[in-house]
Amino acid sequence: MIAKVEPLTPARALRGPFDYRLGEELAGVRVGSMLVVPFGRRRLLGVVVDLARTSDIPPERLVEPLSALEADVPEQLVRLGLWVAAEYVSTPARGLALVLPPGTGTGAARPLRPRRSLRASATPAGLAALDGGERLGDRQRAVLEALRGGPASAASVARVAGGGHSTLRSLERRGLVELEQAAEAPRRPRIADIGARAGGVVPTAAQQAALGAIVDRLDAPRRPLLLHGVTGSGKTEVYLRAVAAALERGRSAIVLVPEIALTPQTAGRFVQRFGDSVAIMHSQLSQRERYDEWWRMRRGEARVCVGPRSAVFAPFDDLGLIVVDEEHDSSYKQEGDPRYDARVVAERRAELEGALLLAGSATPRPESLVRYERLELRERVDGRALPPVELVSMAGVSGPLHERTRQELDGVRRRGEKAIVLLNRRGWSNFLSCRLCGRVWECPHCDVTLVLHQAAAELTCHHCGHSASVPSVCPDCGSVSVARHGTGTEQLERELAAFVDPLPVFRLDSDVAAGSGVAGVLGAFESAAGGVLVGTQMVAKGHDFPDVTLGVVLDADATLRFPDFRAEERTFALVAQLAGRSGRGERGGRVIVQALDPEARALRHAAAHDSSGFLADELPRREAFAYPPYGHVIRVVCSAEEPGPEHEAAEAVRDRIAEAGVPVLGPAPLFRRQARHRAQLVVRSGDRAAAIAAVRQAVEAVAGERERGAVSYAVDVDPQ
């Protein structure tokens, strides 16, 4: 047999698969097996992507693999990994790295292996010896006593009995104890269960109806389903029951959630309902913990995988259901190569494996609305109305808070209630300028202003991480008058603390989130009797705090000022999601949205909690410009340290794409970032496959031209 092996190397130039002859001892190798193979003078780790009877390589030049790893990947996942590589214009090795056990992908110096340890058990003769009169030393007796209740790890027995392994070994020689190497019990990651409530609920009629439709489709999935349910309509309960139904059918399930640290409640509910059958994959796990969870799934000990985008590659071979919770969330798109969209991959995987895809949101994407079959939950579970939303204009208002916002915050303070305040800008001030000469403090590596972080006492660049000390004088003119402009979450936290005193104020943004801060902040806000949670878009995620009575969005139209076709969609979703955090309890709630232009379409629809109306407006616009879901967008960014080559390379790529008959716009300059000058091309096409092929060929050809050594290329299919 010939194994076609794709080497797991980050080198773009090295493209397999390469042929290896399988000897007798590797007869069990299949597609998905991982092999260590000789490659020139090196040894590489590779994945078997195909088997064949013959090879084009002459027999005398064919070599055999050195060894096989214990891990193997389901064949379907190998196909999926290669598909991702092709679809997102990456390399096979990088696509495959997504589906391998964690820690074995490209660049891993030493792949992880299952941890084994020595386990001891008493033989029948051993147990008889304990009870009978056989001569036993004190330590030997202690060891056998410790094993009376069943097998245990050799290390723990040795500890109990007070001796090393020698006592065990001597008992083994006498046939009283058996020792064997066994896979160690895997480590179980913990997850903070903020707000997760125990106890089953009785589904509402609407939940029941949705569930009925979902369960019907489980046996014969066709189109994906979209669970379009207002905030607080109990979508999670529907997911839980859908997963239970898949398990009852003997199938496994994947539940994709946005960043788990931000929404531990949802993951917590799955653990509560399904216990050890759940594998949780979150970013705070060590490589070893991820690896152990991977094996629990691979062995079928865990049947449900809850995790962020990478969980779409959970190693099940009997997949029945993929749930995509909060399907509008942009974290489903991977930022680095391969720039895959887990929602698209989930669609593909569901189709390949005959599983049902169930996406859910209160603010679904146009893509899903048009292409999926919609199930609706129109009301909150308790029948309570969605909170009234008031749009207020900030024109002519000085300071970050509108009069109406102040009034309502004051009410929250007097009644000791809870509020959530969203300002999608972290730091203290977004830029500094000299009052005398007008100098603006900018990043030396990027064409953006530096943001003041007061607590850290530094100016930082939010694009490259560059930081500098806070200036007291202007280096250009010597003036000591430096003005701070704009309010970020850090400053707002301070102002709110003074305003709602004595209520506590909690801040949530990525400065706080570094480390394990998120769970701490959410937990503190939840357990406080009253208080204010202030932060970036992180506060608008799917939190379920029933006692929040006020939601506030500051500078709600800031996101509309970005030149991006998703700007409206993003603004709508952010405001509608934040609004959905308020009024989930008996006291009801309200929402205030501050904006420069409160008449903006996205804001008016969000204020009316009208996602269907928003989409009805948005779709014709998308159609007119062939934007998703009516067309596919691919972005190519060329970059170089010196200005010039990036633009020339982009022109060369553009010409080749255009020659292939695919419409392409650009190059347009992008702001300099991380010390690189950038030029962008945008491809918009109805024919996805042809567009991807044309872009790949163009980029590969231009990247291969020798005179362009200094240029890098980033291709983003379905950019967010």
* Sites of contact with Zn ion (CB under 5 A): 434, 436-437, 439, 443, 445-446, 461, 463-464, 466, 474, 476-477, 479
Minimum distance, C-beta of residue 234 to ligand ADP, in the bound complex (Å):
3
Q: What share of the chain is helix, strand, coil (3-state, %, to 5)?
A: 35, 25, 40
Minimum distance, C-beta of residue 377 to ligand ADP, in the bound complex (Å):
7
Distance CA 646, CA 468 (A): 28
Minimum distance, C-beta of residue 45 to Zn ion, in the bound complex (Å):
36
542 interacts with, out of ligand ADP, Zn ion, none, CB within 5 to 8 A per kind: ligand ADP
Q: Which of residues 220-249 bind ligand ADP (CB under 6 A)?
A: 229, 231-237
DSSP conformation class of 530: S
| Paired residues of 717 in beta bridges | 634
Minimum distance, C-beta of residue 202 to ligand ADP, in the bound complex (Å):
6
What CA–CA distances, in Å, run from 213 to 320, 374, 375? 15, 10, 8
Nearer to ligand ADP, 202 or 395 (CB): 202
Q: Which of residues 192-221 bind ligand ADP (CB under 6 A)?
A: 197, 201-204, 207
Question: Residue 150 CA to chain centroid, in angstroms?
Answer: 41
Is 526 a residue that touches ligand ADP (CB under 6 A)?
no
Nearer to Zn ion, 483 or 689 (CB): 483
What CA–CA distances, in Å, run from 629 to 72, 335, 341, 686, 689? 37, 21, 14, 9, 15
234 interacts with, out of Zn ion, ligand ADP, none, CB within 5 to 8 A per kind: ligand ADP
236 interacts with, out of Zn ion, ligand ADP, none, CB within 5 to 8 A per kind: ligand ADP
449 interacts with, out of ligand ADP, Zn ion, none, CB within 5 to 8 A per kind: none
Q: 3-class DSSP state for residue 285?
A: coil
Residue pair 8/106 in contact (Cβ under 8 Å)? The answer is yes
466 interacts with, out of Zn ion, ligand ADP, none, CB within 5 to 8 A per kind: Zn ion
90 interacts with, out of Zn ion, ligand ADP, none, CB within 5 to 8 A per kind: none
Distance CA 259, CA 282 (A): 8
237 interacts with, out of Zn ion, ligand ADP, none, CB within 5 to 8 A per kind: ligand ADP
Distance CA 533, CA 522 (A): 8
Nearer to Zn ion, 596 or 714 (CB): 714
Distance CA 295, CA 282 (A): 16
544 interacts with, out of ligand ADP, Zn ion, none, CB within 5 to 8 A per kind: ligand ADP
Q: Which of residues 536-555 bind ligand ADP (CB under 6 A)?
A: 542, 544
Distance CA 489, CA 508 (A): 8
| b (16+ CB within 10 A) / e for 365-393 | bbbbbbebeebebebbbeeeebbebbbbe
327 interacts with, out of ligand ADP, Zn ion, none, CB within 5 to 8 A per kind: none
Q: Which of residues 377-436 bind ligand ADP (CB under 6 A)?
A: 381
Residues in the chain: 720
Distance CA 403, CA 413 (A): 15
Nearer to ligand ADP, 234 or 535 (CB): 234
Nearer to ligand ADP, 205 or 220 (CB): 205
Minimum distance, C-beta of residue 617 to ligand ADP, in the bound complex (Å):
24
Minimum distance, C-beta of residue 333 to ligand ADP, in the bound complex (Å):
21
203 interacts with, out of ligand ADP, Zn ion, none, CB within 5 to 8 A per kind: ligand ADP
Distance CA 208, CA 191 (A): 29
Minimum distance, C-beta of residue 462 to Zn ion, in the bound complex (Å):
8
Distance CA 542, CA 537 (A): 11
Nearer to ligand ADP, 453 or 581 (CB): 581
Minimum distance, C-beta of residue 517 to ligand ADP, in the bound complex (Å):
23
Nearer to ligand ADP, 203 or 629 (CB): 203
Site string for ligand ADP, 117-156 (x = CB under 6 A): ----------------------------------------
Nearer to Zn ion, 185 or 675 (CB): 675
Residue-wise DSSP of 500-513: HTTS-EEEESHHHH
Closest to 253 (Cα-Cα) out of 228, 223, 284, 221: 221
How many helices and strands, by DSSP H and E, does the chain display? 21, 30
439 interacts with, out of ligand ADP, Zn ion, none, CB within 5 to 8 A per kind: Zn ion
437 interacts with, out of ligand ADP, Zn ion, none, CB within 5 to 8 A per kind: Zn ion
**Residue 110: exposed, middle, or buried by beta-carbon count in 10 A (0-12, 13-18, 19+)?**
exposed
Nearer to Zn ion, 252 or 449 (CB): 449
Nearer to ligand ADP, 91 or 207 (CB): 207
AA identity, residue 345: V
Query: 689 is written with which tokens?
Result: 């496959």
| Paired residues of 483 in beta bridges | 433
Nearer to ligand ADP, 104 or 204 (CB): 204
Q: How many residues bind ligand ADP (CB under 6 A)?
A: 17
**Residue 405: exposed, middle, or buried by beta-carbon count in 10 A (0-12, 13-18, 19+)?**
buried
Minimum distance, C-beta of residue 678 to Zn ion, in the bound complex (Å):
13
Q: 3-class DSSP state for residue 361?
A: strand
For the beta sheet containing 590-595, the strands, ordered from the edge strand earlier in sequence to the opposite edge, are 389-393, 590-595, 548-553, 418-422, 531-535, 505-508
Minimum distance, C-beta of residue 449 to Zn ion, in the bound complex (Å):
10
Minimum distance, C-beta of residue 680 to Zn ion, in the bound complex (Å):
18
Minimum distance, C-beta of residue 542 to ligand ADP, in the bound complex (Å):
6
SS (H, E, C) 608-664: CCCHHHHHHHHHHHHHHCCCCCCCEEEEEEEEECCCCHHHHHHHHHHHHHHHCCCCE
536 interacts with, out of Zn ion, ligand ADP, none, CB within 5 to 8 A per kind: none
Minimum distance, C-beta of residue 321 to ligand ADP, in the bound complex (Å):
17
201 interacts with, out of ligand ADP, Zn ion, none, CB within 5 to 8 A per kind: ligand ADP
Q: CB-based contacts of 116: which residues, under 8 Å, 6+ apart?
A: 181, 182, 183, 184
Minimum distance, C-beta of residue 236 to ligand ADP, in the bound complex (Å):
3
Nearer to ligand ADP, 202 or 220 (CB): 202
Residues lying near ligand ADP in the complex (CB under 6 A) are found at 197, 201-204, 207, 229, 231-237, 381, 542, 544
